[in-house]
Each structure stands twice: as C-alpha cells, then as structure tokens.
Chains A and B, each alone.
Chain A
Amino acid sequence: MMLKKYWWRSFKDKLVVGLAAGATFMVLLPLGAIFGYLVYRGIGSLNWNFLTQIPKPPGETGGGMANAIAGSGLILLIASLIGVPMGIGTGVYLAEFGKKRFGYLIRFTADVLNGVPSIVIGIVAYSLVVIYQKHFSALAGGVALGIMMVPIISRATEEMLLMVPQSLREAAWGLGIPQWRTTLSITLRTASSGIITAVMLSFARVAGETAPLLFTAFGNQYWNKNINQPTAALPLQIFNYAISPFDDEHRQAWAGALILIVLIVVSMSLVRMVASRGVFKGGN
C-alpha cells in the first residue's frame, strides 16, 4: 500500500519536472532556430569587407555595412543617454517617493507608453525633432529609441528597488545618512544587478527596432559622423536590403541580421562584466 502510493507520488513528480523541462525547451527552440538560421544564411556573406566598407551602389556586388554598424552604435548611444537616466530616475521616484496619486498616474502612463506601437513613437520623434531640425538625423532616431527605453527601465527599476528590504534603508537612516545618499549608495547599489538587466533588456529591445527609425534616422549609404544628419542603422539597412531585388543585397541583409544579434549579445555581456566588478553578490 505504502509502496504503491510512493510510486504514484514519484510519477507525479517526474511528470511535473518533465513538463517544466518541456516548456523550457519550447521557449529555447525558437531562439536556437532563429540564431541557427541566421548563421546558416548570413555567415557566407560575413567577411572583413562587410565590417569595414560602406554599401556599393545598388546592383553591384561587394561592399559592407560599416556605416550602418557605426550609425546604430551612435543612435543607441544617444538613446541610452536619454533613456537610461530618465528611466532610472523615474523608477527611483516611483519606488522611493511616488506612493501617492501622482505616482499611480506616472505608473499608468509608463505602462501605456510601453504599449504604444513603435512606429507611433517614431512619429512623435519626427514631429519633435525632424520637423524642428528640417531634416532626418541620428538625434531624432536616438530620441525615438530613448523614449521607448524609458518605460521599460523605469518600471523594472521600480520593481527592483521595491525588492530591496526596508531594513537596509532603515540601517542607513539610523546611521544619519541622508535620504538621497541612502538611495544612491544603498538602495540603488543593492538593486544594481537587476537594474542593469533591465537596462540591457531595453537596449536589446530598441537595438532591433526599425519602424521608429524609418522617418527619424532615415538611413544613409555613406559615412556620417554628424548627429544632425541622416544616419544609417543596421535594422534600417537590413530592411532596405531585404526588400531590394538584388540577390547580393539579400545575402548582406542576412549577414547584417547576424551581426546585429551578435553585437547585442556581446554588448550585454560586456556591460554585465564591467558592472559586476567590485560589488559583492548579496548573501542571504
């Protein structure tokens, strides 16, 4: 009798663990498939020229996406300069100060902003920056992507800060450390690894965005270092090449997509490595 019961219990245990493992596999499958297919289609066109040269005129073979890689870097830098401080700042306000009605309003706004289609955000940046400047620019693209980063980062920062035990804040206050210092050096620092994850997620999310760049950064076939000029970006270049009639550009689009994913993974790992230095992993 006992034995039979035990058999049934261990069967249920294995079943549930199996289901969980199966679900994990189903989640990882598309990721592996996408990456594998990108490597399969893209690796052939990936060479030194691709990384160092600008595009050849349509129809000619060869050339590369160097300007788009640099342009993406520039646009993402601008986006991060706008989105990261605003996002973290908003998150800090929501978690540490905004417990009242105003905080609820900001929280709701951030959630709505999170759900706004990215092309609409592109239009906003168009009317805020492009119309004002009278031409497309990396700045406009950065503003569009930066706006997209804010709600992702602020909501995640808030969640991470709320997970920091109140007893740590009290410990700091009890030492006569002012509120602002406590927030900077105790609360934010304790939550830093979670906040960095949120920043990286938002970064990866906007790095692949095409729609908000269509009429902000616009794209460019040449080198451009001026943030006030139209600027190439990897997703834009991939989009343009993918809908072009030339086989060589199709091949380059695959290579570009592969590079985009690799760059995102590399930059995420780098930031994580740098940021985790000197901070003790919290025990207990």
Chain B
Amino acid sequence: MGVGIQVNQLNAWFGNTHAVRDIQMDIPANHATAIIGPSGCGKSTFVRCLNRMHETIPNTRVQGTVKIGDTHVYGNGTSAVEIRRRVGMVFQKPNPFPTMSVYDNVAAGLKLNGYRNRRELDEIVERSLRQAALWDEVKDSLKKKSGASLSGGQQQRLCIARALAVEPEVMLMDEPASALDPISTSKIEDLIFELKQNYTIVIVTHNMQQAARVAEFTAFFLIGNLIEFDKTEKIFTNPSDKRTEDYITGRFG
C-alpha cells in the first residue's frame, strides 16, 4: 500500500541558485498527484528531493523536512539508499540498462541487492511486466532481447516495471510520457490509473490535459514556489490564484 508524503519548508539549491523555495505540501496516499508548471519552475528538482536524488548532483543542497509515511527522508539515521528503495522513480527519458536482457532489467533492483530466489524472481518479473502492460509484448524473448532493443514506449514501460519490481510505496514519475508517441502515452496513462490503487504517485508533467486525466490532485509551481495545490478539478476549473489561471489558460509558460 502507498503512504502519504508530508513536505515541510523544503528548499533546494544548485550552487547559489535557489531552485525550490519553502514548499509545504501534504501528498495523499494512494492517489495520483500531478505537478505542473512552466519549464525551470523546480518541478523536477522538487520530486528529486523526495527520494534524495537531488543530492547526487555535485554542489547541491537541501533544507527542510520530508516525511514518507513515518520516515524522515532527511533524518539523521536515514540512508538515501533505503529511501530510494521505498520511493521508486521513472525518468523523463527511458533508461533501461543496455547490457542487460529485458528480464534482468526488471530483476535488477532485486538481484543487485542480493536477492537470489530464482522462482520468486520469475514471478516478480512476470507480475511487474504485466502491471506495466508489457508482458505480452516481451514474454517470448525475456532473456534473449536487450532492454535497449525495445521501442521507446516499450522501454519506458520496462522502466516502470523495473521500478515496480522492488515494490516501492511511492512512485515518482518525472515527465514519464514526454518522449513518447500518443499511443504509448495513453498506455502509460492507463497504467498510472491502475497503479494508484496500490501506490502513491507523484507525476511531473508539462501536459495539462495529462494532469487532468490521471491525477486527483494538482500542484502548480512557479519559479521554485508552490503557488497552488488543490483537487485537480478545482485547479482547472476554478483556481484561487490569478497566476494559476493565467498558466492553465495559456497566457504564459
């Protein structure tokens, strides 16, 4: 089951650039929450703070608190590796491991953490690929085909299956469909619909229709600030903030 995320006074920097400013947000469990906003508004940086991915870039800094369930993400005894195991991530560009087969790509998170039970691995790989709606397309060449030999849309679903295989509680998706054609995009969106039964999903998107289609909640970011966070319906029909309205009606961004 998914868990909620509480973000309190979150700030993030690249060198001297203050990219994310004083974010306060309660992301509800088992729902999809969309993050929208113009390019460079800190959306990606924000979600990368949720699984401590931001700190892997040199000269970056984070301040504030993030709680995933009961765990303090930036707490003293918390390891980044442990957090990332519980908070899966799907990136903008599909990034399957090119030296691994489809099977090994999905099993990577478990195998490389020392998980060896072959029978269970087989089951988890099949289940994850089915969840990601990729099973039927790859089941005949699981171990023969390289992950990189699939099409772009298949690669992205492979990456989703790979993230699901480690059974995270939260799934972060950083513009997961922006590099894909409309058919692959709609497959991914269907998938998000399925997944939010069991996971908490945070999806960054440039595409406002997509946000409206898949997410119950939407947050609007502008120049590092959270401008408005509410039910998706409210954001798109009756936003409280003038800037949100300007953005969704296409007046800027």
Contacts and interface: CB of A to CB of B under 8 A. Distances in A.
Q: Closest 6 A-B residue pairs measured CB to CB?
A: A176-B85, A282-B98, A283-B148, A175-B109, A280-B146, A174-B89
Interface of A: 99, 165, 167-178, 181-182, 185-186, 189-190, 192, 279-284
Given A175-B163, A177-B108, A190-B98, A170 B84 contact: no
B112 interface: yes
Given A175-B166, A177-B112, A280 B98 contact: yes
Contacts of A99: 58
Contact of A167 (B93, B101, B148, B162): B93
Given A185-B112, A282-B148, A173 B84 contact: yes
Tell me what chain A mostly uses at the interface: helix, strand, loop, or mixed: helix
A173 B56 contact: yes
Nearest to B145: A280
A249 B96 CA distance: 58
A175 B85 contact: yes
B109 A170 contact: no
Nearest to B155: A284
Contacts of B109: 175-177
A283 B146 contact: yes
A186 B83 CA distance: 20
A186 B96 CA distance: 11
A282 B162 contact: no
B236 interface: no
B97 interface: yes
A284 B148 contact: yes
B66 to A, nearest CB: 16
A176 B98 contact: no
B113 interface: yes
A176 B99 contact: no
A189 B89 CA distance: 22
Contact of A170 (B85, B88, B95, B100): B95
